[in-house]
Structure 1
Amino acid sequence: MTIEKPDNLVELFESAAEKFANNRLFGTKDIKSGEFNWITYSDVSKRVDNFRSALASLAIKSGEAVGIISNNRVEWAVAAFATYGLVARFVPMYESENQSTWEYIVKDAGVKFLLVSSPAIYEKIKHFKDKIDSLEHIFIIETTGEQSMSHLEIIGEKNIIPSIIPKASDIASLIYTSGTTSDPKGVLLTHGNFSSNARAGYRRYINQLNQTSVSLSILPWAHSYGQTAELYNWLYFGGSIGFMHSMDTLADDFVKVKPTFVIAVPRVFNKIYAGIHQKMEEEGGFKLKLFNKTLKAARAYRLKEGKVGLGTKLMYGIGNKLVLSKIRDRFGGKLEGSITGSAQMNNEVTSFFADIGVGVYNCYGLSETSPAITMNSPETNRIGSVGSALEFIDIRIDKSMVDDDSEDGEIQVKGPNLMVGYHNKPEETKEVFTDDGWLRTGDRGKLDKDGFLYVTGRFKEQYKLENGKYVFPSAIEEDIVLLPYVETAMIYGDGRAFNVCVIVPDQAVLRKTAQHLNVKTDVAQLIHLPNVQEFIGTEIRKSLKEKYGGYEIPKKFIFTDESFTVENGLLTQTLKLKRRLVIEKYKEEIEGLYK
């Protein structure tokens, strides 16, 4: 199969910069004023030319590696497209990563030039030059002087070196997956991988995305999901991207940027959903009744496409103005939709946002598939599924790993989005591909008659209870965290008589509840009170009763006030649980529950 042009990220960017030269591309928040400053496609293109020329002056050549340790920002994109224009390899790393992981990646990828966001990070990694033979240059974004990125751009501007157009098969990037039990693996992704996947995603949303579309960038571009779905996808239609300043400023950033579409993960919407419902429960009285009646009318109005009785129509009209519009205003007032990946959205949460006028659509993929395999969209949407295969991608279900009569099996994939392999890991590469060239996802799922994919679990996560019943913990966990009292949950029960659950309560909600009940106990101590633990445990069991079998519902709980975060190593950068590390951390407490 021949990949359509542009089949590389250099031509994709340069054609967008020419076609949409005067469009806003990136918006950055000014800390003092709180407002966003925007720059155009043309502005970014000039900086890319300058930085590419500067890299060339440092003898960065085709196939060599340029690394960056930075959150999403203008300079991230400038460095990426400058690197691609020399047919070099871009190696992004997270700011919120430990030093040993940075060192491993820089060494494994053979990084020659390293760009870091701040002097603070530079102080942590400056000794890498003495330990890693390939590393010759380290420069800083947020500084001045000869070691700054801006200084390099001034040098490059004096002697512009034209870009080199890569082949579709040339490596564009190494995306390192989070290593929970072993070293991270560098996923080798080509220009053809990225460009074909971004194009396929855009074609699913061609009626929703255009030059007026605005995104609020929430997910890190150091992962392929953020890169492809947002950065590269947006170049096809000339949209704008504002950078979230931090999770703490997310609410204000939504209002300031006024996004029309966002690339997110279910956790973002789950927390908003839980927060809205908790706030309305606290309000109580007339406001709660109005909220519930509005949602009921909105759902009927949506499902029947407006063909409802006069009473429902009036209720929807009043509620839309008094209730739903205020919820939408929290997102800036213009949000039309979102694609979510990393995990499957809860059906009730999906329906809730559809009812208030924000379509949230599941997609599915892996770092190894650039990343999208399937996707829902307004025109092709089936709630509960993760969508149907994107163009030129084939899916098959291999039942050889399933030892029961289920209709599901391992999801396997073929298409232009498949990685070349894992860098420096030929054995791991061989293991993940079948003999006939299909990528083994390790995920369990099934296809319906119309080609919509349903993910039913992950083979690496699934386990059997003592009674032989299979448990897929992630789905149960996603439902538990919808409760306003729960921040994070992890289910365990491998080979045991029953499931148990590690719970991190939402302290903010507990604080409000304590104040409402006039409880004087310190919030940090609330979760250790037997009656509080019993209350949360009862609420969890009630919420799961209608959806899961009795054997799946946890019987005992561990309560902890230490959040699971990226910083303490218990979440991946895409906010997935590092399950084995959590189990290891709470090993003694878990064992205690089974005695």
Structure 2
Amino acid sequence: MRAENQVAPSAPAAGAQEGNLVQLLIQRAQNASKAGVTHKKDGRWQDVSFGQVLDDVKALSAGLVAQGVKPGDRVALFANTSLLWIVADLAITAAQAITVPIYSSNTPDEFAYIVNHSEANFVFVDNDEKDAKQAGRLTRVRQKLADCGSIQKVILFEGAVAGGQELSLADVLAQGQKAHQANPGSFEERVASVKSEDTNCIIYTSGTTGLPKGAILTHGNWTYQAHAVQAIGMMEPADSVMLFLPLAHVFAQVVKAAWLSMGFRLIIAESVDKLLANLVETRPTVLPSVPRVFEKVYNNVVANGSAAPGLKGRMFRWAFKLFDEYVDAQMQGREYNPLAFALARKLVFSKVRGTLDEKLGGNMRLFVSGGAPLSRKIGYFFDLLGFKVVEGYGLTETAAPTNANRPNKIKIGTVGPAMPGTEAKIAADGEVLVRGPCVMKGYYKNDEATAEALEKDGWYHTGDIGEIDADGYLRITDRKKDIIVTAGGKNVAPQNIENTLKTFPIMSQAMVYGDKRPYLVALITVADEAVRKLLAEKGAPVGSYADNAKRPEVHAAVKAVLDKVNSEQPPYATIKRFTVMPADFTQETGELTPTLKVKRKVCSQKYKAQIDAMYDNAAVLD
């Protein structure tokens, strides 16, 4: 399993960084009055200084030690993104322990698996509010507590405690404040003893192909990333950065690390559902996001503009027909500057830009896209409107970005050159390999998987297929394990097709299938709001999601999308049959990861009957 082929041109090395994130917080708090965080509390936006954050970290870390947390103990965090999450995380470090983040949307069984595998001794949980179709997180913890023998205490951010194992955060803080006042020097001693090579956290992968694996990430991984992000200008000290991403994901952890390094204002969104309202209220300059948000913004613009009455609607549809031609030209490397397109930019796209700018707070300098591939069409759309979207690439095992576009040189369709101090190269079989201070120590309690993924000389096998251009910019073409090899021996990258499908407003999710089969098929879920609008416009009955999914009008609209996408693919990469599913894919029902990626293995097994039915003797799409 030796790495081969050319190495990407290397930027000036940032290299490994000494220290830990609590030490960065201590540096930030020297300007004790500077607003470090803005969050909504008691119904209004409130600023919290770095000094206040540090005081809470001091008290909570002392409280954890008083409760029996020992160096090297694993402490799980099962909560939504919040200031308390960050304080608890930093307090765990200051207690010389190891954080185990758990997605707030994880099911009881997923929670129990991570706690048991990591042998977590303590668990923080935020509240018991109902979460989508699931019970509250506290209920989920209580359901599994008897099955999690390593847990000594459960610490509640809020709500009434029950049983001898539960403690309130307020009580732990009060206990810690007394302990810290009695011996204030112990905090600095504990923090100073935490070295850069020590384990900071164990973050579990989202499990798209099997059981989650725990990536062991060090304090040095995060301090390196914080400096690398600043070195490329992705975020700057003067920025206001909106954070809505789950802190159980490495993408959000990099934002947290950069915040502690640079001292910009971190704005914590109330929730994903309230993101747009929060953007208008707080006017951030940078929004790190996953592609799904950009897809929804684009699809919303297209759906509303196309449905506009009269001349406005006709103008919009004319402009977006030209936009499609523009995208095709860009994909093929052709010039596209007809007079009509210049007119469309002035009459239509300038107004779209103005409307979007207002909805995004009117102050946005930069978007950062990560966590999954961004469709090139979406990239060209935001670029056309004058918004900068910096797409990056990384994995849980690399503490997020190994590569990122630079704000002053964005190549749409690529994930940019390697971060300063990180190397990237392509192996003989096309796999992307990376090496540098961002790479994990290994997988927790899984030496076999570690040996398979990590070379002795430090090269990490990402499992992604890609190519590097002459400027060192990396383009990811697909997941190595996801590549479909048809019965005819043709290789097809399903993610590329799926990303294109999701740029159409009627589409919610898509999974392309066809390994060792004569042709490709697709499981499709539709966007409920777009379907309801379509049926209402056509005078058809509007019912439940499942009823609407059966309607011939919906099937015709989906077929029209597939016909359009198929026309742009070689014959062997066209989808011949499709099934519109009776319910959308969700994490609660098992088809999606917490980062909204389709679990191929789960869907292939769960919907085997539907897939097999698409390979019978029925007619296929032309």
Q: TM-score, normalised by structure 1?
A: 0.90
Give the conservation status (yes or no) of the 8 Å contact 1:87–1:170. no
Aligned to 2:358: 329
Moved more, 376-385 or 535-544: 535-544
Quick check: 1:113 aligned with 2:113? no
Give the conservation status (yes or no) of the 8 Å contact 1:499–1:553. yes
Quick check: 1:209 aligned with 2:236? yes
Aligned-pair CA distance for 1:273:
0.3
Letter aligned with residue 594 of structure 1:
Y
Give the conservation status (yes or no) of the 8 Å contact 2:482–2:493. yes
Aligned to 2:213: 185
Aligned to 1:253: 278
Distance of 1:276 and 1:158 partners within structure 2? 55
Aligned-pair CA distance for 1:353:
1.0
Letter aligned with residue 220 of structure 1:
P
Give the conservation status (yes or no) of the 8 Å contact 1:126–1:138. no
Quick check: 1:280 aligned with 2:299? no
Letter aligned with residue 156 of structure 2:
I
Distance of 2:262 and 2:319 partners within structure 1? 36
Quick check: 1:142 aligned with 2:163? no
Aligned-pair CA distance for 1:576:
0.9
Aligned-pair CA distance for 1:96:
1.1
Letter aligned with residue 578 of structure 1:
K
CA deviations over 1:394-425 (Å, ceiling 9, x no partner): 112111x3xxxxxxx01111101110001111
Among 241, 244, 252, the alignment partner of 1:226 is 252
Cα distance change on mapping 1:183 and 1:317 into 2, 3 Å:
closer
Cα distance change on mapping 1:2 and 1:326 into 2, 3 Å:
closer
Give the conservation status (yes or no) of the 8 Å contact 2:22–2:90. yes
Gapped runs of 5+ residues in structure 2? 1-12, 129-135, 181-185, 331-336, 617-622
SS class of match (2:575): coil
CA deviations over 1:1-51 (Å, ceiling 9, x no partner): 995655321212221222464224131264xx4x43332222211111110
Give the conservation status (yes or no) of the 8 Å contact 2:210–2:601. no
Letter aligned with residue 217 of structure 1:
L
Give the conservation status (yes or no) of the 8 Å contact 2:415–2:476. yes
Aligned-pair CA distance for 1:350:
0.9
Quick check: 1:58 aligned with 2:67? yes
Aligned to 1:169: 197
Cα distance change on mapping 1:496 and 1:566 into 2, 3 Å:
same
Cα distance change on mapping 1:549 and 1:248 into 2, 3 Å:
same
CA RMSD of aligned residues (A): 2.6
Aligned-pair CA distance for 1:290:
5.1
Give the conservation status (yes or no) of the 8 Å contact 1:64–1:89. yes
Letter aligned with residue 428 of structure 1:
A
Aligned-pair CA distance for 1:529:
2.7
Distance of 1:89 and 1:205 partners within structure 2? 30
SS class of match (1:443): strand
Letter aligned with residue 412 of structure 1:
L
Runs of 4+ deviating beyond 6 Å: 292-297, 308-315
Give the conservation status (yes or no) of the 8 Å contact 1:144–1:151. no
Sequence identity percentage: 29
Aligned-pair CA distance for 1:124:
3.2
Aligned-pair CA distance for 1:243:
2.6
Distance of 2:485 and 2:339 partners within structure 1? 52
- Structure number with the bigger relative contact order (C-alpha 8 A, sep ≥ 6) is 2
Number of residue pairs matched by the alignment: 573
Distance of 1:516 and 1:437 partners within structure 2? 58
Distance of 2:32 and 2:351 partners within structure 1? 39
Letter aligned with residue 191 of structure 1:
H
Distance of 1:311 and 1:460 partners within structure 2? 44
Distance of 1:309 and 1:553 partners within structure 2? 31
Cα distance change on mapping 1:444 and 1:141 into 2, 3 Å:
same
Aligned to 1:529: 551
Aligned-pair CA distance for 1:475:
1.0
Cα distance change on mapping 1:519 and 1:315 into 2, 3 Å:
closer
Alignment of 1:96-111 (within 5 A): 96-111=105-120
Cα distance change on mapping 1:39 and 1:528 into 2, 3 Å:
same
Aligned to 1:587: 608
SS class of match (2:573): coil
Gapped runs of 5+ residues in structure 1? 402-408
Distance of 1:446 and 1:314 partners within structure 2? 37
Aligned to 1:539: 561
Among 83, 100, 104, the alignment partner of 2:92 is 83
Aligned to 2:8: none
Aligned to 1:490: 511
Distance of 2:308 and 2:487 partners within structure 1? 45
Letter aligned with residue 22 of structure 2:
V
Distance of 2:14 and 2:475 partners within structure 1? 29
SS class of match (1:162): helix
Cα distance change on mapping 1:83 and 1:484 into 2, 3 Å:
same
CA deviations over 1:314-358 (Å, ceiling 9, x no partner): 986676774421121111111222111122212221121122232
CA deviations over 1:149-184 (Å, ceiling 9, x no partner): 022111111221414222110000000112345432
Give the conservation status (yes or no) of the 8 Å contact 2:82–2:268. yes
Aligned-pair CA distance for 1:390:
0.5
SS class of match (1:159): helix
Give the conservation status (yes or no) of the 8 Å contact 2:463–2:481. yes
Moved more, 47-56 or 93-102: 93-102
